[in-house]
Amino acid sequence: MIIRSAASDRRGKSFTVPVDGILYGGDYNPEQWSPQVWVEDAALMQQAGVTVVTLGVFAWGTLEVADNVFDFGWLDRVFEILHEHGIAVILATPTAAPPMWLIESDPEIMTTDASGVRTGSGGRLGWSPSSSTFRGYALRMVERLATHYADHPALVLWHVSNELGNENGYDFGEESAEAFRLWVQAKYPTVEQLNRAWGTSFWGHTFTSFSQVTPPRFARTNHNPALLLDFDRFTSHALLQHYLAERDVLRRITPQIPITTNFMVMRSGGVQDYAAWAEETDVVSNDHYTIGADPLRHEELSFSADRTRGIAHGAPWLLMEHAAGSVNWQGRNASKTPGELTRNSLAHVARGADAVCFFQWRQSAAGAEQFHSGMVPHAGPDSAIFREVTALGRTLHRISEVSGARLSRGDAALLWDQQAVWAFNSTRKPADDIPFHAMPLALHAALNHHHVATDVIAPTADLNGYRLVVVPHLFLAHPELAARLTAYAEAGGHVLVSYLSGIVDRTGAVILGGYPGAFRDLLGLRADEFHPLMNAETLPIVTTAGATWTASDWTESLQLGTATSYASYASGRLQGSPAITENPVGAGTASYLSTRLGALELDEYVGHLIEVAGIRPLASAPREVEITRRSSTEHDYFFAINHLQVDAQVDLGRPAFDLVTGTAFDGQLVAGSVAVLKTERSEDGAVLKTERRPD
């Protein structure tokens, strides 16, 4: 397998990982088991078709058993056993979980919460990315590990720490406060500039010295949203600095080994700007866990996978963790339904993953995650999970030629920006219970129901070649984006903007003159007031085509300039006023969705936009069948995933061979199954080109 990321491409570097096909495996924590189990594990891994495991993720305390006293003996033996069985190693720097002796000797390495309470021992992460003491210990560990395994033939990839920011997102302690002050001062060289940017005359919070700047510690009312937004930016930066420090040690000692760190792109309100982080990795990897109580969890998964690919600029990426069965952190932890493990795994591959890995290989008997599933459950290999894991290993082997193929460039693009998420979450809006994710996910799902190839990309990415660009809840928008979207529409592109987009500028200040400030001209309208609907309150709207739909959550009083109404309210205070509009812009259009529609209605509306944009779906199939296309130089590989409990008809319009069953595809997709359909490559199978993210 060849690893080439956008970032490593720019360094003129690619890495050859000596493992064929799609990587298959998971986190392996042999320190929890006896050497006899290690040998049994390696044989079971072979049986399951496992090709790679991640070692060392939480092993600092078993590798550095006391300050500067290292024991690599047990890990050497594990490396040896795995290598003898042909299993490659992703080696994690074990810095996610500091050892007990370190927390005892230097408790100030731990984060402090907003109320001043310091994190104790017993969890993981929990340390402060701004702690220089922690950094020193961590880098010594990394240096020793890298030096020890530098030339081991089983080592194929470095995995820096684990989910940086997951349990050490915000630190309100003194060392972090000092680092924050320096960061603020570097951004705003004078207090006057800082006061202007943060609008500190509100409540008379004017700073007279940088020494007065603190993290948003406990206060009895909400903080200034501009401070919160910058604290998010700082936190992402501080975590990234820690990653970079570890990465640079690894790069110096083993320049031939690629480096990644596992992202959590769907962590709500995440503290990491992964689009920026990705630039610093050799390959993007992501962890994903479905929420068992969500009946549409496969749609959230698809969004996650598309977003990860967008962050990777279209290059193949690695699914570093997901669960073989239930997790142990959702209260009621649903087991997976029959076939769900396979559908979930292949849905990630369908959207660009070249690795399918789990947390974890063997389910723990002890410790905080003892009831989290593993590939080998407590029951052992004679279990439904291990049988499905083994079957999946065979399937991945059968479709191995897909590895390296890129997804065809999408016809639609959906813009996502972490800065907008932070701004959206940092202020009190007229309806604070509207989650940021809801609108992007709903629009992404609607496009998928129509089998439209969709990319989730940064607002700075190149828009050329897309027929439809969707801008959902992009609360913070740079003025140049409006200009680029206008130029894109003038040249024949089609844009859809949802409410709560373009409301604030880069500093978090409202763009004045009517909503949605940044996009008023593009959309040919303005709103002078928001009218959020109360919970469970709905209003009927009627489209120009005569359909009656139901609006919920949000309404606004819109005054049209050049835009025309596509749907308007049939009753209530806004009766007769537009809810959805369309504005002709040059050879294209810019539409505005100022309310929330039900899923089927949104499908209908998005269907209208697809028609306007002249998009050809990837296939003809029911809305619950997921279709994607990966393309190599010679072939297209269509993934068809049937989320229905009945068989479905899928028509690609050309003959295809199903790599999963090893037979010609007759158009019938069995209930709950996945087909990987190989065809000759068609002309329009252009791939998303690697582009540089503007600084």
| Residues engaged in binding ligand GAL (CB under 6 A) | 162-163, 166, 287, 289, 321, 327, 359, 369, 372
The residue (of 360 and 426) whose beta carbon lies closer to ligand GAL is 360
Closest separation between CB of residue 327 and ligand GAL, Å? 5
Q: Considering the complex, state which of residue 202 and residue 329 has its C-beta at the smaller distance from ligand GAL.
A: 329
| Phi, psi (degrees; rounded to nearest 5) at 379 | -70, -15
Which of 64, 163, 582, 601 is flagged as catalytic? 163
Q: Is 257 helix (H, G, I), strand (E, B) or coil?
A: coil
Cβ of residue 122: shortest distance to ligand GAL, in angstroms?
14
CB count, 10 Å around CB of 392?
22
Q: Is 163 a residue of the active site?
A: yes
What is the smallest separation between the CB atom of 13 and ligand GAL, expressed in angstroms? 27
DSSP 199: T
H helices within 380-477, ranges in order? 384-398, 418-426, 438-449
- R_g of the chain computed on alpha carbons: 26
Q: How far is the CB of 152 from ligand GAL (least distance, A)?
A: 23
Candidates 473, 411, 409; CA nearest to 440 is: 473
Amino acid at position 327, single letter:
V
Q: How many helices (H) and strands (E) does the chain have?
A: 18, 32
CB of 460 to ligand GAL, least distance (A): 29
Which residue, 232 or 321, has its beta carbon nearer to ligand GAL?
321
Residue among 298 and 451 whose Cβ is closer to ligand GAL? 298
Give the shortest CB-227-to-ligand GAL separation in angstroms.
29
* 8 A C-beta contact, residue 511 and residue 505: yes
Single-letter residue type at 434: I
Nearer to ligand GAL by Cβ, of 340 and 553: the residue is: 340
**How many Å apart are CA 24 and CA 20, to the nearest integer?**
10
Active site residue 64: no
User: Terminus-to-terminus CA distance in the chain, angstroms?
Assistant: 30
Nearest to 458 by CA among 275, 652, 206, 282: 275
Query: Is 675 within 8 Å of 342 (Cβ atoms)?
Result: no
Nearest of 545, 547, 671, 672 to residue 600 by alpha carbon: 547
Name the phi and psi angles at 435, rounded to 5: -75, 145
For ligand GAL, which is the closer residue by CB, 96 or 420? 96
Which of 475, 569, 557, 458 has its CA nearest to residue 519? 475
- Residue whose CB is less far from ligand GAL, 165 or 215: 165
CB proximity list for 502: less than 8 A, separation 6 or greater: 471, 474, 475, 477, 482, 511, 515, 516, 517, 518, 519, 520
Q: Per the residue annotation, which of 64, 175, 321, 556 is the catalytic one?
A: 321
Closest approach of Cβ 163 to ligand GAL, in Å? 5
| Catalytic machinery residues | 163, 321
